[in-house]
Amino acid sequence: MGIRERLSGNEAVAYAMKQINPGVMGAFPITPSTEIPQYFSTYVDNGEVDTEFIAVESEHSAMSTCIGAQAAGCRAISATSSCGLCYMTEMLYVAASDRLPITLAVSCRALSGPININNDHSDAMGVRDAGWLMLFAETNQEAYDNYLQAMRIAEAVSLPIMICQDGFITSHAIENIELVETEKVKAFVGEYKPAHYLLKKGESMAVGAYATPAYYMEAKRQQAQAMMDAREVVYKVGKEFEAMTGRGYGMIESYQMDDAEEAIVIIGSSAGTAKEAIKRLRAQGRKVGLVKVRVFRPFPVLEIAEALKNVKAFAVMDKTDSFNGHCGPMFAEVSASLYAQGVTAPKGIGYIYGLGGRDVRVESIEKVFAQLEQISKTGEVGETYRYLDVRG
């Protein structure tokens, strides 16, 4: 039986960190993730964890601290948002290429400019190709659950991992949540026992050595293989987590998709709003559904293709824009997934929505489904690159 609590998403993530008791936290504050190291530093000060808390002068230094600590042989964690994640970018690539399973909590927030501190996914999506595993949460419960599974996944394939949630929407809002007993968490996550690390007695090794053209591509190919291998690990860890808690997780979540003729693909907290719209439309006899992407890296190619193969029309919801002139990052990934799997029947459109914290209402999602209904009836797609709820 779990422990019933009421926590914000930030506090839930900090509590998960406390239960795991990692070796080092490199920390620098930035809204809206500041509460995570703030809560965790209290646990450190109270002697509730053994973690070495290192307050640094920038996010670049925070990730550098994690790289050094993880390379030395201990679990290293951090948390950031928005411009802080951008400031880490150089070291994100280093962490991934050095195959260090660092765990980074990201409370997603818009990037400047114009200056904005509210939620969208431009920060996380801006570093989507840095080589990190990426999990996204719809709710506070999922943010907590993702964090408990993250280290197991990352350490199995020797890649760093981001646990993303929506800034303010879940990071600060308080929800009912079920915590796992700490002794169960420790048993589930286990001890970190790397085969090779810098402080291992008698071992000669280097981390981050210069790679000449004769070796660079082979290193990158191994890194790519690790990302592909992570798919199986996500499912394995998810099944073990379900056996412990009753809450199961995979690469995606399908909602009302068994007979859906129109569907949306979405990520993060807006999935809850979309589910409410689907309930309303289902009550009116509409066959509509939702595919929520939980694991963005590795991208759920097979699952997306299977989920959408029988729909007539779908819309991909991007809470950021790639500024490539034709779509957001999720739409590009979904379209490529369908093409790669030979799924050609559904007609797809992409929506940019919710930028800079713009409200996403049930009525907003209903507008999207209304457009999909027209596409299903007429077969005419029209413009595939659309903005939702933007003033003309």
Among residues 218, 245, 272, which one ends one of the domains? Answer: 245
Helical H segments across 158-211, by residue range: 182-189
Domain extent at residue 287: 252-387
Same domain, residue pair 237 and 350: no
**Cis status, amide bond into 194, omega within 30 of 0:** no
Give the pLDDT of residue 36: 98
Share of the chain above pLDDT 70, in %: 100
Residues 95, 84: Cα–Cα separation, whole Å? 16
Q: What CATH number does residue 212 fall under? A: 3.40.50.970
Q: Check whether the bond before 298 is cis (ω within 30° of 0).
A: yes
Mean pLDDT calculated for residue range 260-287: 98
Determine, yes or no, domain membership for 274.
yes
Same-domain status, 220 and 312: no
Q: Is the dihedral of CA 9, 13, 18, 19 positive or negative?
A: positive
Label residue 223 exposed, middle or buried (CB < 10 Å: 0-12, 13-18, 19+).
Answer: middle
Long-range contacts of 279-286, Cβ-Cβ distance < 8 Å, separation of 24 or more: 280/362, 280/366, 281/366, 281/369, 282/256, 286/262, 286/369, 286/373
- Per-residue model confidence as pLDDT tens digits over 82-124: 999 999 999 999 999 999 999 999 999 999 989 999 999 999 9
Report, as an integer, the average pLDDT of 52-77. Answer: 98
**Euclidean distance between CA atoms 326 and 347, whole angstroms:** 16
**Phi and psi (nearest 5°) for 348?**
-120, 145
Token reading at 367: 């507008």
* Domain match, 217 and 258 both: no
Are the C-beta atoms of residues 346 and 308 closer than 8 Å to each other? yes
Looking at the fold, whether 286 and 208 belong to one and the same domain comes out as: no
Residues 172 and 26 in one domain: yes
Whether residues 233 and 264 share a domain: the answer is no
On whether both 290 and 357 belong to a single domain, the answer is yes
Beta sheet of 347-352, edge-to-edge order: 252-255, 288-293, 262-266, 313-318, 347-352, 385-387
Q: Where is 347: in which H helix or E strand?
A: strand 347-352
d(CA 210, CA 292): 40
Q: What is the mean pLDDT of residues 353-360?
A: 97
How many angstroms separate the first and last alpha carbons of the chain?
52
Task: Judge contact between 282 and 288, C-beta under 8 A.
Answer: yes
| Structural domain total, the chain | 2
Q: Could you tell me where the DSSP H helices lie in the chain? A: 9-20, 35-45, 59-72, 82-97, 122-126, 140-157, 182-189, 213-245, 270-283, 301-308, 329-340, 362-378
Between CA 21 and CA 17 the distance in angstroms is: 6
Find the mean pLDDT for residues 338-364: 96
State what percent of residues in the chain have pLDDT above 90: 97
Residue 192 maps to a domain: no
Within a domain: residue 189?
no
Q: What's the pLDDT at 345?
A: 86
Q: Mean pLDDT across the stretch 257-278?
A: 98
pLDDT at site 113: 87
Residues 173 and 289 in one domain: no
Tell me, yes or no, whether 392 lies in a domain. no
Q: Model confidence over 154-210: pLDDT tens digits? A: 999 999 999 999 999 999 999 999 999 999 999 999 999 999 999 999 988 899 999
Give a yes or no: residue 197 inside a domain: no
Is pLDDT of 1 > 90?
no
Q: What is the CATH number of the domain that holds 317?
A: 3.40.50.920
Q: What is the reported pLDDT for 143?
A: 98
pLDDT digits (tens, 9 = 90+) for 305-325: 999 999 999 999 999 999 999
Query: Do 135 and 170 reside in the same domain of the chain?
Result: yes
Does residue 307 sit within a domain?
yes
Same domain, residue pair 267 and 229:
no
**Could you tell me the two tokens for 156?**
């199995």
Q: Are residues 209 and 274 in the same domain?
A: no
- CA–CA separation, 70 and 197 (whole Å): 8
How far apart CA 299 and CA 333 sit, in angstroms, is 8
Average predicted confidence (pLDDT) for the chain: 97
Would you place residue 211 in the very low, low, confident or very high pLDDT band (cuts 50, 70, 90)?
very high
Q: Are residues 23 and 121 both part of a single domain?
A: yes
Is residue 196 a part of any domain in this protein?
Answer: no
Exposed (0-12), middle (13-18) or buried (19+): which is 89, by Cβ within 10 Å?
Answer: middle
Task: Locate 186 and state its tokens.
Answer: 């420790």
- pLDDT for 106: 98
**What is the C-alpha separation between 336 and 339, in angstroms, rounded?**
5
Which is more confident, 382 or 1? 382
Say if 191 falls within a structural domain. Answer: no
| 131 band by pLDDT with thresholds 50, 70 and 90 | very high
Enumerate residues 6+ apart whose C-beta is below 8 A from 323: none
392 pLDDT tier (thresholds 50, 70, 90): confident
